[in-house]
Structure 1
Amino acid sequence: MSNTTKADLLMVLVTLLAAVSWIFSKEAVMQMPPLLFMGIRFLMAGGLLALVGWRLMRTLTADQCKRAVMVGLVFGIAMSFWVTGLHRGTHVGEGAFLTSLAVVLVPVIGKLVFRETPPASTWLALPVAVAGLALLSLEHGFRPEAGQFYFVLAAAIFALYFSMNTQAANTQTLTTRDGAVQQREKVPVIALTAMVLLTVGVFTSVLSWLLEPWAPTFQSFSLELAGWVVASAVIGTAARFFVQTWAQSLSNHSHGVVILVIEPVWVALFAAGWFGETMSLQQLGGCALIFTALLVNRWGAVRKLLKTWL
């Protein structure tokens, strides 16, 4: 088996780990404040990865630490909206498709914030994604649920996070106002991931301390709840990011990221099996349109992936 094939199979595993994390997280936030859950989850996951990448973390410069923390703060804001949507939303599968809009929005954010040139497929994918969003939010007239609003807001901020994370993980060549050229060293992947997860953990913990009551959770804390929190931190966060990093180290081909678009499909299937969720025809149509938009937006990589497999 070639390294490229191994990388693709590992990416499929990443989507499964990410999808099952939705189930763990939903179970946890039904029993404890959502932001407190995020704080504990990400501090645990970040701590595990920090142990793995401690030697690299000790070598980080002040600039690298600053960039990693900034990425973590943006990710923390996005995750705060996401977990609030998960807590207040009524349909996990639908939420997964709404959150996946981030993939379509990444090139748009790149153009607006970093002056990057998005591919033509982005402009084809956007109206398809908007049509899918409309079907989901207009099922009962123009009365979108609070959970839907938080998921879409999280998707927009996730897009900014993805762009910033890519910038931090790669060496950048900058030109100053006086014409001088400067190099900004990339942040090693394991160190970057650990720093980002720890920053999210600290940010959401502080936010929870300010906004949520902690006493009831600790008074009624159970082994079942502890199991969901640990599973989410170890399996859905630390293991997921570790496997994704491993997969990316096996292949230089960028088409592996296309496999990640199947995550909402797994989430919908798991939610149907675990929570007994069902979708109306209109909801299915909306999710199908969003999934189509994801494929259109990544069509160049999809075509390469199909050629590799066939």
Structure 2
Amino acid sequence: MKTEALRGKLFLLLATMLAAVGWISSKLVILEMPGEVFIAARFLMASLILLPFCYQQIFALRPKQIAALGGVGMALAASIEVWVHAITISSTLSEGAFIMSLAMIIAPFISWLLFKVKPNRMFWISLPITCIGIMLLTITTGWQVDNSQWFFLLSSALLSLHFVLNKRVLTNIKPLTSICVQLFMVGIVGSVFMAAVSPERFEINGHVLFWFAVSTVIATSVRYLLQTVGQFNVKIETASLIMILEPIWTLILSISFLDEVVEMQKLIGGGVILLSLFIYIKYSKS
């Protein structure tokens, strides 16, 4: 059991690193490829890569379960569509990563609104700390927030909706089966959106193909496989604590690959947000 738990923690740690790689690879791809095309191709291919590991379970799903998976997948698709748009117009990925990590704090609000489940005491303790972190992270030139930051916040809220629905609506479905179907749904929604928008033509070169492959295979398929196996063998509190490392890796990679310069105030803001998440996860009783 200890060996499995240790392996699970290692898998989750690697998953956070691969998620950060996904931020960088996505940004590098959409510099040359329309975001609509990127989402459709990336998630359709990622779901097909996972399909051999769970196709028998997918074929055994009942129509009601498929409909539920489709609905939850559409919430994920909405979050990713907004996220890609935010990345497209943003010059500072690390800020976006810290804002996206707020999904865990926003989720109790969503659950309260939809299912009348009141947030616990630690949520209300963590919330003011989170607000301070957001202010430090976003407000640097007076009371003006960059457009990309609003889109990252909207994407984080939609991701929170996905978390809540994923936990409340889907039961008796194995995680990998659920992920595969949901990624496929994201690809389908992306394809419909791509057809409606009719993106401009673009050229495919070796640089784009390399980072697209990294984003699809490494940062999506492999990442979700590691995350699924890791979460299966690790307590949810421990898994959540490990997963909040993602914005830190994103910050490091963004500085290394994109030459991003991060002001000290924003670093402190990101640190305060992580502190609020740590307090909420570590000491939450429900």
Shorter-normalised TM-score: what interval?
over 0.9
Partner of 1:280: 263
Deviations 1:241-294 (A, max 9, x none): 111111123245542222000100010011111111121122112111111111
1:135–1:282 Cα contact (<8 Å) kept: yes
Local SS of the residue matching 1:298: helix
- Which amino acid counterpart does residue 88 of structure 2 have in structure 1? H
Cα distance in 2 for partners of 1:253, 1:282 equals 31
Partner of 1:180: none
Cα distance in 2 for partners of 1:139, 1:155 equals 21
> Does 1:233 pair with 2:216?
yes
Partner of 1:12: 13
How many residues are treated as equivalent by the alignment?
284
Once the two structures are TM-superposed, the CA of residue 74 in structure 1 deviates from its matched residue by: 0.5
Q: RMSD of the TM alignment (CA)?
A: 1.6
Deviations 1:13-69 (A, max 9, x none): 110111111111010011111121111110010111122210000000011001100
Local SS of the residue matching 2:142: coil
Cα distance in 2 for partners of 1:144, 1:254 equals 32
Cα distance in 2 for partners of 1:226, 1:274 equals 17
From the CA coordinates, give the structure whose radius of gyration is larger.
Answer: 1
Q: Which runs of 5+ in 1 are unaligned?
A: 171-185, 304-310
- Which amino acid counterpart does residue 103 of structure 2 have in structure 1? A
The match for 1:210 among 196, 205, 217 is 196
1:81–1:153 Cα contact (<8 Å) kept: yes
Local SS of the residue matching 1:98: helix
Once the two structures are TM-superposed, the CA of residue 91 in structure 1 deviates from its matched residue by: 0.1
- Which amino acid counterpart does residue 119 of structure 2 have in structure 1? P
Once the two structures are TM-superposed, the CA of residue 210 in structure 1 deviates from its matched residue by: 1.4
1:103–1:159 Cα contact (<8 Å) kept: yes
1:169–1:188 Cα contact (<8 Å) kept: no
Q: Report the TM-score when normalising by structure 1.
A: 0.87
- Which amino acid counterpart does residue 240 of structure 1 have in structure 2? R
After superposing on structure 2, the runs of 4+ consecutive aligned residues of structure 1 that deviate more than 6 Å are: none
Partner of 2:42: 41
Partner of 1:192: 178
2:237–2:282 Cα contact (<8 Å) kept: no
> Does 1:157 pair with 2:158?
yes
Partner of 1:224: 207
Cα distance in 2 for partners of 1:204, 1:143 equals 31
- Which amino acid counterpart does residue 233 of structure 1 have in structure 2? T
Partner of 1:292: 275
Cα distance in 1 for partners of 2:187, 2:89 equals 21
Cα distance in 1 for partners of 2:61, 2:141 equals 52
Once the two structures are TM-superposed, the CA of residue 119 in structure 1 deviates from its matched residue by: 2.3
How much identity, in percent, do the aligned residues show?
27
Instruction: Give the 3 Å change call, closer, same or farther, for CA 253–4 of structure 1 in structure 2.
Output: farther
Compare relative contact order (CA 8 Å, sep 6+) and give the higher one, 1 or 2.
Answer: 2
2:36–2:199 Cα contact (<8 Å) kept: no
- Which amino acid counterpart does residue 101 of structure 1 have in structure 2? L
